[in-house]
Every structure is written in structure tokens, then in C-alpha cells.
Amino acid sequence: MESVARSQSATGPGSPASTARPLIYRQSRWTRLTHWLWAISLFFMLLSGLQIFNARPQLYIGKQSGFGYNNTIFEIGAENTSAGTRGYTEIFGHRFDTTGALGWSGPAGNETARGFPSWATIPSYYDLGTARVIHFFFAWILTTTLIVWFVASLVNGHIRRDLAPRLDDLKRLPQDIIDHAKLKFHHTREYNTLQKMAYGGVLFVLLPLMIITGLAMSPSMNSVLPFLNDLLGGRQTARTIHFTVMLLLVGFFIIHILMILAAGPINELRSIITGWYRTDPPAHDDKTPERSA
Amino acid sequence: MAKFEISRRRFLTAASLGASGIMLSGCDAFDSQLSIGSGLRSFLENANGLTYRAQRLLAGRDALAPEFTEADIRQPQRPNGVTSPDDDDYKALLANNFADWRLEVSGLVEKPLSLSREQLMNMPSRTQITRHDCVEGWSCIAKWTGTPLSLLLDQAVVKPQARYVMFHCLDTIDRSLSGDVKYYGTIDLIDARHPQTILAYGLNGKPLPVENGAPLRVRVERQLGYKMPKYLYKIELVDGFADVGGGRGGYWEDNGYDWYGGI
């Protein structure tokens, strides 16, 4: 609270300290707590999920997996060639040599055939049963966290105030894209348009889709929600969507980390740990000082 | 402009440092705490109990697994696990087309049964086109014909203290120092009495082939494939499975799979 008082007194218009950067309380305890629970859950779910995928490193479209016919759209494998065993990844019939990373990897001279490499899976060795134990434990954590976040953010106004799209956001979008491309960041109380799209997309589209496609793969849930797989295009399509959403979440994570590094990691981390965020000096005229990372 | 140049360089340095940190993290850090029986592993396994209770609550006793049409049968049922038992007693039974094979129903029952294949096939049957989901991730749709397990349980009259149905199989799945391990598994009485739980002797309109579990295999349509033992010869009603195998309720369970395979 002390810091708030200090920053408020320092930001009065015309005061000599008007170029100071006020510290504001930006992230509620619910946002911070759920953020870190997601971070931990998604870490373990990703690595155990890649292990589960390794048990059947193929993706199909439809109700079932084609053995007597071909509905495989993605495959990681190993094959013997004149140049020794090579790992490959095949996407929609296009084959890429991914030796060392996908299909055939491990310490030099001790490579093994595995979809995703040892460093990307939990456990590091092949163990489907253990990966499932980890995956489903964190599935409960992730889902509970999402529900808690949703209720808390409805109640405390986080969704309405910070995430709900406004007409203004659309108008600001082109400038926002240019600013991000130039790594020019504005540190304000509000999320910018791209942030709203990214966070909203993860929280309202990707994570729910992940949970739904996860449930659609459960034979017992199929008896409770038989329409789910019909809606998704079959259990194997649901599995393929589950995998694709994983890729999108990994993509989000990479961009998220890069943006934090670019926008000022200390300030960004402080806000998601303590809630306090240092904003740009308030603008008094049109000559807002440009601020880059 | 100069300012932008510097910030981009700093940005790229920081980004590559971050990326290499992720690459180097490695995932063997958790290996030692994940073996069966370790504290962390046992704690994480509680989630399976929660899943079991939640799904039983949602699905109840009789919610049916989706059934499909003839048009969905697009390929032979993919065999998995043991597909050709090397056991002498099995091979002897196979040699005369299972004429000497009997299905025993024993344990916590009032009237133990011993049924020939013919007797089983003369009982009312159920045919269902269902999707087999393997724990590995693949699925295969096929038509199964067999005797509802609930009919056998009724005939044998299950004692009130019975809680699980244990399946004993003829196929050796593993060889250990203490001898050959034949496949075994358990399900609860809710799944055992589920209308789609059948002891299948027919597959896609033909007698069940050896690779898919001849003469008899279990279908538990709301669970994964490892819960559906093949090469069945004995059904035992038990009140627990602590003293069977590794005590976790099945061959794969003793090797790390969850007992409840509904997810």
C-alpha cells in the first residue's frame, strides 16, 4: 500500500515527478494463483502427454485408427536406410528427416526409436503407465483451476474489465500489431488487443477444447456424453485435435515468454507474483515518450 | 533508431538464453520418484480413484458405450498383446478346437459353474458393434457376440461379500523368476453387470480367432483394452485383490497402469 500512496502522490499532473512510472496493483490474487497452477500443470501435462503420444506416435482422422486403410495424417517413426537408422516425421504424406529429435534420438551410439526425445518426456524412459498417472493428476488440477479462475474472474470483474473485447480493441489492432513487431511495449493497466486475443484464446478456446477432447477420448465419458465424439468427428479426430491444441499452447508459451523478456521480465514477473506492476508515465500531451523493451 | 537496435540485440540474447534453458532442463529429474510404491507416485495415483468415483457418479450403472453400424467395420479387429499363446495347455485345447475347454465360475458364489463352449453359446447372447480403445491411443471398431456376464453371475449367485470379478487367462504374458505369469485382471461388479459386458466368442460374425482371444474374451466397453482379458478359462468372485500378483488388481496394473481404465 505504501508504494501505491507514493506513486499516486508522484503522478499528479504538473508535478515535477510526472515522468515517474507509477506502480499499480494489476493482478488479483486469483489471477496470480491460477496462473502458476496452470504453469505447473501445463508443464507436467505437456511432458507426460508427449510420453503418452510416444506409445502410438501417429494421428488419425475419424472414429478409429486405420490399419486396413489409411487415415493417418501425422506420424513419427524410425526406418532403416543405407545411411543407418533414421528418424522421420511425416505430415500429410510429406516426410522429413528428423533424426536426433523425432523418431530416432538419444546419446550418440545409444539412440533408440522413440517419437519425442527423452528430454521432452516424463519419465525420460518409455513408461506409458506412469505418464498417464501424471497426466490425469494434473488434468484434475488444470480443470479445477480453470473453473476456480472463471468463477473468481466473473465475480471480481477481471473478465469484464480486462478480457472482454471492445470496439476500441478492433480499432487499436493495426497499431498494436505494428508496436509488437517493433518490440515497442506500452505498460498500462489494461491489456492491449493482442494480449486480450492471446489470453482470451487460451482461456476460453484452447484450454476448454483441450479438456473436451481429453474427455472425448475416455471410453467411460463416451457413455455419459455420446454426442461429444460425433461433434468432434470421432475419437481419433478428437485425439488429433488434442495434439494440435497442444502445439498451439506450446506456441503460446514461447511467444508469452519472448514477450515477457522483451517487455521487461522483472516488471512482468513482479506483477504475476505480487500483483504490482510499474506502468508508463501518464501522458499529458500527444508526445508520449517512446519506450522499447 | 540506435535505441531500437540495442533493444533488439538484448531481446534476441535474452530469448536465446531462455530457449536454451528450456532445452537443457531435461526430464530425468523426476524419474527416481515415479516408481511403483514411491510416495510421490502413490499420491499422484489418488487422481485415478477420483476419476473412478467421478465417472461412476456421472455414468451410473447402465449408461451405454456408443454402438456403431456395420458400415463402421472397415478392417479386421487389430490384435494386441499376446496373439498366439505358446502355453502347452492352451495349444492342446486349441488342437481339438476347444472341445475340452471349460469356463469355471468360482470364488464367492453360491453355485460354482463349469460350462462348455456349447453351453455358453446356448445361453442368450448379445451382439454389439463397439469401438475398442487401446491404452496406447489407437481405436478399432468391430462386432462382438457373446454371453452377458451378468447372466453367469446370476446363475452362479454371487455372495454379498464379493466385490470384484477376477479373470484368469491361459496365456503367459511374462516370465519371472518365480515362474510364468499368466494374464489376469479384475473389474468391479458394476462393470461386470453392465449390459454391454459380454464374454465374447464371436468377432465380426465369425468365431473369435486365436489372435483376438479364442475361445473366450471379455468385453468391458466403458474401459480400455487392457481391462478386457483374452484366452479366458476362469472367473473368480473375490472381495479384494491384495494377495493376487502384485496386489494392484491385474497384470498391467502390477506394471504401472491404473486399475480403473475408464479414461
Query: DSSP string spanning A279-292?
Result: PPPPPSSS-PPP-B
Please give the Cα distance from B166 to B186 (Å, whole number).
4
Question: Which residues in chain A are classed under CATH 1.20.950.20?
Answer: 2-57+121-278
Average pLDDT score over residue span A191-204: 96
Q: Residue A68: how many CA atoms within 13 Å on its side-chain side?
A: 13
CA nearest B25 in A: which residue?
A: A119
- The closest CB to that of B30, out of A122, A222, A236, belongs to A122
Q: CATH number of A2-57+121-278: 1.20.1250.20, 1.20.950.20, 2.130.10.10, 1.20.120.420? A: 1.20.950.20
DSSP state of B76: P
Summarize the confidence of residues B116-139 as an average pLDDT: 98
Contacts 24+ apart (CB under 8 A), A84-93: A85/A111, A85/A113, A87/A113
Supply the pLDDT for residue B28: 81
**Has residue B171 got a pLDDT over 50?**
yes
Q: Is the pLDDT of residue A205 over 70?
A: yes
Under an 8 A CB cutoff, do B72 and A223 touch?
A: no
Which residues, 6+ apart, have CB-to-CB distance to A222 below 8 Å? A216, A228, A229, A235, B65, B66, B222
AA identity, residue B200: A
Question: Which residue in B15, B30, B138 is closest to A56 by CB distance?
Answer: B138
* The three cell numbers locating residue B82: 499376446
Q: What is the pLDDT of residue A166?
A: 93
* Residue A279 · residue A187 · CB < 8 Å: yes
Whole-number pLDDT of residue B26: 54
Q: Which three cell numbers stand for residue B36?
A: 511403483
- Asked if pLDDT for residue B100 goes beyond 70, the answer is yes
Mean per-residue pLDDT, A68-76: 98
CA A188 to CA A280: how far, in whole Å? 6
CB contact under 8 A, B66 and A119: no
Lookup result for grid cell 528430454: A119
Confidence of residue A282 (pLDDT cuts 50, 70, 90): confident
- What percent of chain B is predicted at pLDDT more than 90? 84
pLDDT at A2 over 90: no
What is the average per-residue pLDDT within B216-232? 98
Cell, residue A114: 522413440
Nearest to B138 among A65, A118, A123 (CB): A65
Q: What is the DSSP letter of B109?
A: B
First-to-last C-alpha distance (Å) of chain A? 27
Average the pLDDT over each of B25-29, B129-133, B149-153 and give the range with the smallest value. B25-29
Which is nearest to A236 in space by CA: B80, B81, B65, B134? Answer: B134
Q: What angle do CA B129, B135, B137 make, to 5 degrees?
A: 80
What local confidence, expressed as pLDDT, does residue B31 receive? 87
pLDDT band at A1 (very low <50, low <70, confident <90, very high): very low
β-sheet bridge partners, residue B200: B146, B217
Least confident of B156-165, B190-199, B236-245: B236-245
Q: What distance in Å separates the CA atoms of residue A60 and residue A78, rounded to the nearest whole number? A: 18
Closest CB to B7 among A136, A183, A224: A183
Picking from B15, B25, B19, B21, the residue whose alpha carbon sits closest to that of residue A265 is B15
Q: How many CB atoms lie within 10 A of CB B150?
A: 16
Torsion of CA A13, A18, A20, A26, to 10 degrees: 20
d(C-alpha B60, C-alpha B56), whole Å? 5
A residues 51-70 lying closer than 8 A (beta carbon) to B: 52-53, 55-56, 58, 60, 63-69
Chain A: residue nearest B68 by CA?
A: A63
Window 161-200 of B, Cβ < 8 Å to A: none
Q: Does A221 touch chain B (CB under 8 A)?
A: yes
A103-157 pLDDT per residue, tens:
999 999 899 999 999 999 999 999 999 999 999 999 999 999 999 999 999 999 9
Distance CA B177, CA A114 (A): 29
DSSP one-letter string for A4-68: HHHHHHH-STT-TTTTS--EEE-S-HHHHHHHHHHHHHHHHHHHHHHHHHHTS-EEE-SSS--SS
| Per-residue model confidence (pLDDT) at position B1 | 40
CATH 3.90.420.10 is held by the domain B65-254: yes
Cβ-defined contact of B139 to A124 (cutoff 8 Å): no
Of the ranges A43-47, A83-87, A289-293, B194-198, which one carries the lowest mean pLDDT score? A289-293
Q: Return residues 58-97 of B near A (CB < 8 Å).
A: 58-59, 63-66, 68, 72, 74-76, 78
Report the greatest alpha carbon distance in chain B. 91
Decide: B174 and B251 in contact? Cβ < 8 Å.
yes
Omega within 30 of 0 (cis) for the link into A13: no
Closest in B74, B223, B263 to A69, CB measured: B74
Q: Is A219 on the interface with B (CB under 8 A)?
A: yes
* Sequence-distant (≥ 6) Cβ neighbours of residue B163 within 8 angstroms: B188, B189, B238, B239, B240
Q: Check B31 against A182: CB less than 8 A apart.
A: no
Cβ burial, residue A224 (10 Å; 0-12/13-18/19+): middle
Q: Name which of B24, B34, B68 to mutate to probe chain A: the one with the most chain A Cβ atoms within 10 A of its Cβ.
A: B34
pTM of the full predicted structure? Answer: 0.90
**Would the CB atoms of B66 and A134 count as touching at under 8 Å?**
no
Is B134's Cβ below 8 Å from some Cβ in A? yes
**Cβ separation A69–B221 shorter than 8 A:** no
Nearest to A64 among B47, B48, B140 (CB): B140
Q: Count interface pairs A-B at CB distance under 8 A.
A: 176
Angle at A252 between CA A248 and CA A258, to 5 degrees: 145
Q: Is B25 on the interface with A (CB under 8 A)?
A: yes
